[in-house]
Chains A and B, each alone.
Chain A
Amino acid sequence: MNLPPEFWTYLKVVLLVATVPAIVGFVIVLAERRIMGFMQVRLGPNRVGPQGTLQGLADLLKLVTKEDITPARAERAVHFLSPVLAVIPALTALAVIPFGPPIRIGKQMVPLWVADLNIGLLFLLAITSIGVYGIILGGWSSNNKYSLLGGLRSAAQLVSYEVPMGLSLVSVLLMTRSLSLVEIVRRQESTHLWFVFPGLVAFFVYFVSGVAETNRNPFDLPEAESELVSGFNTEYSGVKFAFFFLGEYTGMIVISCIAVTVFFGGWLPPFSHVPALAFLGFVPGAVWFLLKVAFFIFCYIWFRSTFPRYRFDQLMALGWKWLIPISLANILAVAFAILLTPRRTNGLVALSWIYGGLFVMMFLLSKLRRALVRRDRLAASGPAEAGAEV
């Protein structure tokens, strides 16, 4: 039986782009609540289904059956449209993500991506920044001052963090000479080098910007619960609220997927060229991809339960005064590494060692600094702290 290629495309659109994120989103919600529960010495939801596994379904049911309220003086059309605007771009972005190598179904090789665009990265940057409109317009159209403030915050935040994010991906572009995500993974396979090593700095800048892009802690200013009472989504309820929710979680998935694809070798098993680790290749590529994405999602959750929230002006300062200059300098460094060495791979390996050394050094320095600060504080507070043992 030979199915037309369109069949597979449609199936993949339905599965990978429309259905899976929704399901994965609810899995993440549950995981987030359980993991945060664990980190915060409490249980988290464990009532619905075994170990609370059906909690997502219960939440969904609650949100769907809730009254859908539109504030009396809201811009009705925009108010209706903005949750949609928040979700659709995030889902669309998933279309170019290669979830795994092509797999054989019957006689056909079916690639695990919907489309391999040769402008993949550019497409991702473009489409994810559209999602901002959902938040800005949602905040504005609610006719609520808190929502407006939330919308304004997100406008400034997302515009600022688009820049370092794009710049950090440019350095990867220099390494691959291709914008296609599939090509980026293949290049990492052929050079035996995940781009996280030569692109360590780029990765940090990318992930920090990514967390800011998705409005998550410590950059969750647009919805700062304790300041703006949920910010842009204050006036949303029911399905529309669920859409914003889905948009946020899909955004997290997209950011993690890009991080995995661009920096962590996509579907490749770790160090596949090392013979001793070759057995890792027996695990299907899609599973590796999923595991790596899960790790980044876990990081999101980890951040959320660890960090306080930045203040608005500090957030801006971080973006403009640190991330953008760093990513610009990084582009230069990568460019020089590639130009100055006869074979580009050699330059990248050298850069990896330099960045690795720098990273270890900075880590040790920060440990030292922390210890010194702590010692100074203890010395300054004197007997008050010294006599504290009971």
Chain B
Amino acid sequence: MSDEPISQAEKDEAAYFAERAKAQGAASPGAAPEAPAAHTLFDVQEMELNFGPQHPSTHGVLRLVLKVDGEKILEVKPDVGYLHRGTEKLFETETYPMGIPHTDRLDYIAAATNNHAFCLAVEKLLGVEIPRRAQLIRVILDELQRISSHLVWLGTSGIDLGAVTPFWYAFREREQILDFFEEYCGARLTLHCMRIGGLPFDLTPGWTDRVSEFISDLPARIDDYEQLLTDNRIWKRRTVGVGVISGEECIEWGLTGPVLRASGVEWDLRRAKPYECYEELDFVVPTRQGGDTYDRYIVRVQEMRQSARIVRQCLDRLEPGEIRGKVPRVIKPVAEEVYASIEAPKGELGFYCVSNGTNKPYRMHVRPPSFINLQALPRLAKGHLVSDLVALIGTIDIVLGEVDR
């Protein structure tokens, strides 16, 4: 094998990089030309390590270009876009109701919350009122989705740190939640379970009983996971003090969700800007002060418990009634701009919708929590080891469908 470029594409690439290097050199004429270093025995050599897009711990097709000294990380450059499908552009080409299925594919392990945020934005444009039953069911679906999303996070980030067993326990419970979704709307992941103005279907008979039973079991199940991890010495050593970020810094980076709350900022849109019926529900927004990976773990685990409480309260309040508000047959909102956001499992998920008075949005922008939280990865990872990087990718809880859209 030789180092010569072989194909035309590689030649082009080489030429491009050569030119770019030249341009950079011209931009900073003061920089001394790098002398070819003679390698002695004790030279520290930086190694460039390509982490992903095919890597078991990047949770999808995330690519990170690392500069490492041994195992110490000097620099992280996230390279996103491997899953880019032009979703925001697709919204513009289709009518409002046709946009909902696309949102399923954003954060594909929490489709219900995506549907919800999209519908909220359009409903805000239309100014429709959602019937109470629909609101309650939406909240139930959201919170079940939050639990399932956190379970996936718990399992996969456990595997990242070498703890394989919690994964199976977490997925056992998640499977039950997916069964509930399947029973409700026929789909398990790409749910398409909300409509503009309400819901597509009413609950099937007995659904609430089964959910209620599951919710009663859940705290004990969560105790099981905690038994394996929370006080585990190795788990603590791998997570405490890893990727510490302060509350102010979180706000500067625009981080939201459990990452923000683990740094001591009590900011949860369900509390701060309540939507649907969250105002009347009794729940605690779990916060921690440390801002490290361990605290983010604790916050998520406690959020699952709180979500179970919320579901329980909504189930108790369910009464027969309408599930769809008065929505025109053809959705043609007035020309206006709105922003609606909800507390998705991973943080603030917002839709910024610009309408020009036709039946298709003029522009639909998504504010994905994963993408914005991922920005902080280079900041979090600096100075840590490669093993910590894996923990950090897990603790931010990204889904590439949402990062790349």
A contact set with B: CB distance below 8 Å: 36, 39-42, 72-73, 145-146, 149, 152-153, 217-218, 220-221, 224-229, 304-314, 370, 373-374, 377, 381, 383-385, 387-390
Once the chains bind, are B164 and A305 in contact (CB under 8 Å)? yes
By DSSP majority rule, is chain A's interface helix, strand, loop, or mixed?
Answer: helix
- The listed residue (A152, A225, A312, A384) touching B56 by CB distance below 8 A is A225
Per-residue A-contact encoding for B146-178, CB less than 8 Å = 1, 0 else: 000000000000111111110111001000000
Once the chains bind, are A41 and B168 in contact (CB under 8 Å)? yes
Interface centre among B161, B164, B232 (most CB of A within 10 A): B164
Interface residues of B in 240-274 (CB under 8 A from A): none
For A306, list chain B residues within 8 Å (CB): 163, 165, 228
A387 vs B165: C-alpha distance when bound (angstroms): 27
A310-B234 in contact given A217-B162, A227-B390, A388-B309 (Cβ < 8 Å): yes
Interface centre among B159, B232, B234 (most CB of A within 10 A): B234
> Closest CB-CB distance, B123 to chain A, in whole Å?
30
For A377, list chain B residues within 8 Å (CB): 230
Chain B: number of interface residues, binned into ranges: 35 or more
- The listed residue (A145, A381, A387, A390) touching B298 by CB distance below 8 A is A381
A36 vs B50: C-alpha distance when bound (angstroms): 32
Once the chains bind, are A149 and B71 in contact (CB under 8 Å)? yes
A308-B232 in contact given A145-B47, A226-B390 (Cβ < 8 Å): yes
Verify if B90 is at the interface (C-beta below 8 Å from A): no
Residue in A closest to B304 when the chains form the complex, CB atoms: A388
B contact set with A: CB distance below 8 Å: 1, 47, 49-50, 55-57, 70-71, 158-165, 167-169, 172, 215-216, 218-219, 228-232, 234-235, 237-238, 284, 286, 288, 298, 302, 305-306, 308-309, 312, 385-388, 390
A72-B238 in contact given A311-B385, A312-B385, A390-B308 (Cβ < 8 Å): no
Once the chains bind, are A314 and B305 in contact (CB under 8 Å)? no
For B161, list chain A residues within 8 Å (CB): 226, 308-309
A149-B219 in contact given A307-B163, A307-B234, A308-B161 (Cβ < 8 Å): no
Once the chains bind, are B286 and A307 in contact (CB under 8 Å)? no
A79 vs B71: C-alpha distance when bound (angstroms): 23
For A387, list chain B residues within 8 Å (CB): 284, 309
Sample of 24 A–B contacts (CB below 8 Å): A42-B168, A146-B49, A149-B71, A149-B386, A152-B70, A226-B57, A226-B162, A227-B57, A227-B386, A227-B387, A229-B56, A305-B164, A306-B163, A307-B162, A310-B238, A311-B388, A377-B230, A381-B302, A384-B286, A387-B309, A388-B306, A389-B219, A390-B215, A390-B312
- Beyond A40-B165, A153-B71: 12 further Cβ-contacts under 8 Å? A41-B169, A146-B49, A220-B162, A224-B162, A304-B164, A306-B165, A306-B228, A309-B238, A309-B387, A388-B306, A388-B308, A390-B312
